[in-house]
């Protein structure tokens, strides 16, 4: 890192393609505008949306492109009008999704209210793993589905980045949690608080559970439609991918609300997540960390689809 901070290292791409398109570059360090803060990034999670946007134009269709929405770091400076953060504060947050990408760099700017104070005693790797995935789970279960204590929740891909956090958030809200995952991950999920775990490869989940109030589905394919079979009337199915119109119609016929959700930057949600972390009720499982310079390796690992929890980039010194 340059002593004067006038430039910074970032992982950028000039074209779409495999992990090899990611290159370390040096670019001017941004300055915070009104209502923004400049954060010295200490750690930044890598999420499926990162490698999907790397491979092909998605919601963010601009090149060159610096990816990354998760941030944990230290406030370097604040823009005009910012009152809730000051230089030296340790913060975590999610840059506005999707167009605010850029955290896979040594510094990043973002709206002050996209960030919350990092809980004391939680390191930057842990904090950097949380924002996008935890906000997704929180907004799906709490904001969208209105989860209440005593309800039955089915979390698909429960050992994944969003799923393993959703299990914990649901338990923190008093839910009974059923998760789908391969058998080797069952003990992990039980330790997180899952009440039942179903091996989707060995058992048809639609025959193994019932009376579900809320479904969280991060998967493509026929999972959403099959999930309707196990749901109670009045329930909510939240998909993290676009739902076919016919599935939404079938759900409505059974008085089930079926919606597709896109995560949003959310100060109140980030504060709620930070509070759960501080209470010890929420913790990210970090599968692996990589230095910023090895972002391509992080993408390659993530794309295997076999990881548990999260992958995090850390800002090593030059």
DSSP string, 74-93: EEEEE-TT--S--TT-EEEE
User: What's the CA gap between 127 and 118, in Å, rounded?
Assistant: 7
**Residue holding tokens 């230089």?**
87
Q: Is pLDDT at 141 greater than 60 in this prediction?
A: yes
Q: What is the DSSP string of 251-294?
A: HHHTT-EEEE------HHHHHHHHHHHHHTS----EEEEEEGGG
Instruction: Report the predicted TM-score, pTM, of the whole model to 2 decimal places.
Output: 0.96
Q: Is pLDDT at 286 greater than 60 in this prediction?
A: yes
Q: Is pLDDT at 245 greater than 50 in this prediction?
A: yes
- Of all residues in the chain, the percent with pLDDT exceeding 70 is 98
Shared-domain flag, residues 94 and 153:
no
Shared-domain flag, residues 190 and 293:
no
**pLDDT at residue 1, as a whole number:** 43
The answer to the question of residue 273 being in a domain is no
Shared-domain flag, residues 141 and 123:
no
Shared-domain flag, residues 107 and 141:
no
Shared-domain flag, residues 126 and 59:
yes
Q: Is pLDDT at 316 greater than 80 in this prediction?
A: no
The answer to the question of residue 184 being in a domain is yes
Shared-domain flag, residues 165 and 216:
yes
pLDDT band at 2 (very low <50, low <70, confident <90, very high): very low
Helices (H), 106-228: 124-129, 131-138, 161-172, 186-192, 205-208, 223-227
Host domain of residue 233: 133-260
Q: Is pLDDT at 4 greater than 90 in this prediction?
A: no
Query: Residue 140 is part of a domain; what is its CATH number?
Result: 3.40.50.720
Shared-domain flag, residues 114 and 125:
yes
The answer to the question of residue 1 being in a domain is no
**pLDDT at residue 234, as a whole number:** 98
Q: Is pLDDT at 147 greater than 80 in this prediction?
A: yes
Looking at the structure of the chain, the number of domains it has is 2
Pairing of strands 310-314, 286-291: parallel
Query: Residue 46 is part of a domain; what is its CATH number?
Result: 3.90.180.10
User: What's the CA gap between 148 and 233, in Å, rounded?
Assistant: 15
Question: Checking phi first, is residue 10 left (phi over 0); if not, alpha (psi -120 to 50) or beta?
Answer: beta
**pLDDT at residue 317, as a whole number:** 53
pLDDT band at 305 (very low <50, low <70, confident <90, very high): confident
User: What's the CA gap between 134 and 4, in Å, rounded?
Assistant: 34
The answer to the question of residue 108 being in a domain is yes
The answer to the question of residue 278 being in a domain is no
Q: Which helix (H) or strand (E) holds 246?
A: helix 245-253
Shared-domain flag, residues 208 and 229:
yes
The answer to the question of residue 237 being in a domain is yes
The answer to the question of residue 2 being in a domain is no
Shared-domain flag, residues 19 and 126:
yes
Shared-domain flag, residues 28 and 53:
yes
């Amino acid at each position: 890192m340059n002593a004067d901070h006038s430039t910074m290292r970032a992982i950028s791409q000039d074209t779409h393609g495999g992990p090899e398109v990611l290159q370390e570059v040096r670019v001017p360090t941004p300055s915070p505008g009104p209502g923004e803060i400049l954060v010295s990034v200490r750690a930044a999670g890598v999420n499926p949306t990162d490698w999907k946007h790397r491979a092909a134009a998605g919601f963010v269709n601009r090149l060159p492109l610096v990816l990354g929405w998760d941030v944990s770091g230290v406030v370097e400076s604040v823009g005009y009008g910012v009152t809730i953060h000051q230089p030296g504060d340790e913060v975590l947050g999610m840059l506005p999704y999707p167009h605010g990408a850029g955290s896979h760099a040594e510094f990043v700017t973002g709206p002050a209210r996209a960030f919350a104070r990092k809980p004391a005693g939680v390191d930057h790797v842990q904090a950097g793993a949380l924002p996008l995935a935890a906000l997704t789970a929180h907004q799906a279960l709490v904001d969208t589905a209105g989860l209440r204590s005593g309800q039955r929740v089915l979390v698909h891909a429960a050992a994944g980045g969003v799923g393993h956090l959703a299990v914990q958030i649901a338990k923190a809200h008093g839910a009974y949690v059923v998760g789908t995952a391969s058998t080797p991950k069952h003990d992990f999920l039980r330790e997180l608080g899952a009440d039942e775990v179903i091996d989707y490869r060995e058992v048809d989940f639609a025959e193994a559970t019932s009376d579900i109030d809320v479904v969280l589905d991060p998967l493509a394919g026929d999972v959403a439609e099959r999930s309707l079979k196990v749901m109670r009337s009045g329930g909510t199915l939240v998909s993290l991918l676009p739902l076919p119109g016919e599935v939404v119609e079938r759900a409505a016929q059974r008085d089930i609300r079926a919606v597709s959700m896109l995560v949003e930057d959310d100060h109140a949600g980030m504060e709620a997540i930070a509070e759960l972390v501080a209470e010890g009720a929420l913790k990210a499982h970090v599968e692996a960390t990589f230095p910023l310079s090895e972002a391509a390796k992080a993408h390659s690992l993530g794309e295997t689809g076999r990881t548990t929890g999260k992958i995090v980039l850390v800002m090593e010194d030059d």
